[in-house]
Structure 1
Amino acid sequence: MVVTTGHALYVPDGGGGFTRVPWERVLRASWQGDWLHVWGDDAEHHVRLVEPGSVPEVVQERVTSTVVVSRHFDLGRGGVRIVGRRATHERPSPAREELMWAMVFDDGADSEDPGTRAEAEQLLQAVRRQVGL
């Protein structure tokens, strides 16, 4: 079982409780067979849902709704997607309006390579300047 709200996805934590994953922290999600796969900033979650109802559609809509800017760049050995996302806080405040930025590397890109990482960081800074955020 998972729970979706306007602010987060709640997935089983393996101990009878739930782990809260804010929508802006979901880097990628997919639905395969009976399984919902969610890759977050700091963890992966794989949940079997025999009766998913509208969960796949809600996950896609909520994650997509946080994206303000998304640009993909070819690094010659795979690529990187630079994503700026707005947080979905329960109690929004002007101090929380800053975008959260992420670099999502393609499967073929070596994100541990210092040269690849430096190139991606430069692209991130360029996108931030372009959008003025």
Structure 2
Amino acid sequence: MKLFRRLPAEVREAIDPGDRVLTYAEGPDGYVIAADRALYLGGERLPWFCVDRGAWDEEGLTVVTTGGRSYRALLPEPGRIPEAVRERVTASIVVNHYVPLDARGGVRLVARKADADRLVWEFVFDAGLDPDDAGLRALAEQALEETRRSFGV
């Protein structure tokens, strides 16, 4: 019995140097590859700190990025991809803190590990709040500074 399966050439060639394959699955549109630093899906490399969430159904995987873009991959046999996506997205989040801003709602402040020494912060405003509103933006920036101080990041 082999202890390690040999990676298919397509999987080895699809990943960037320095990324290490954790698991992969083949679907009708190609491979979905979960690596230590990114998810490879539909010919795209999505660093884990850019993946907001993944959802599964009987046909496959839908991934939504922090920028709101959605990706879909059909995976009749997903193998360990669901667990890897869940674990990697969760591991990328350092801080997830909700702050009320005014009577209309608040903002979720999310810090994600971009690499060993860099965090990327994201503002997720409640539905109905305009993220381009200068007053709300100022309140969110102030909340971010307070959150960074209290969490030490």
State the TM-score, normalizing by the size of structure 2. 0.67
- Aligned match of 2:111: 84
* Equivalent position to 2:117, from 97, 107, 115: 97
Which whole-Å CA distance do the structure 1 matches of 2:114 and 2:137 have between them?
A: 25
Q: Looking at CA atoms only, which structure, 1 or 2, has the larger radius of gyration? A: 2
Which whole-Å CA distance do the structure 2 matches of 1:81 and 1:7 have between them?
A: 24
Quick check: which one's strand share is greater? 2
2:39/2:48 contact within 8 Å kept: yes
- 1:113 maps to a residue whose letter is D
State the TM-score, normalizing by the size of structure 1. 0.75
Tell me: CA distance 1:101–1:107, structure 2 relative to 1, closer, same or farther (3 Å): same
Where in structure 2 are there 5+ consecutive unaligned residues?
1-30
- 2:121 maps to a residue whose letter is W
Relative contact order, higher structure (CA 8 A, sep 6+): 1
2:41/2:73 contact within 8 Å kept: no
Where in structure 1 are there 5+ consecutive unaligned residues?
13-17, 89-95
Q: How large is the Cα RMSD of the aligned pairs?
A: 2.2
* Equivalent position to 1:63, from 69, 85, 89: 89
- Aligned match of 2:23: none
The alignment of Structure 1 onto Structure 2 pairs a total of residues equal to: 121
Tell me: CA distance 1:123–1:33, structure 2 relative to 1, closer, same or farther (3 Å): farther
* Equivalent position to 1:2, from 17, 32, 38: 32
1:80/1:103 contact within 8 Å kept: yes
Runs of 4+ in 1 over 3 A off after TM superposition: none
Deviations 1:23-42 (CA, angstroms, capped at 9, x unpaired): 01213333345353322244
Matched, 1:28 2:53: yes
Percent of residue pairs bearing the same amino acid type: 42
How many Å apart are 1:86 and its aligned residue? 1.6
Tell me: CA distance 1:117–1:29, structure 2 relative to 1, closer, same or farther (3 Å): farther
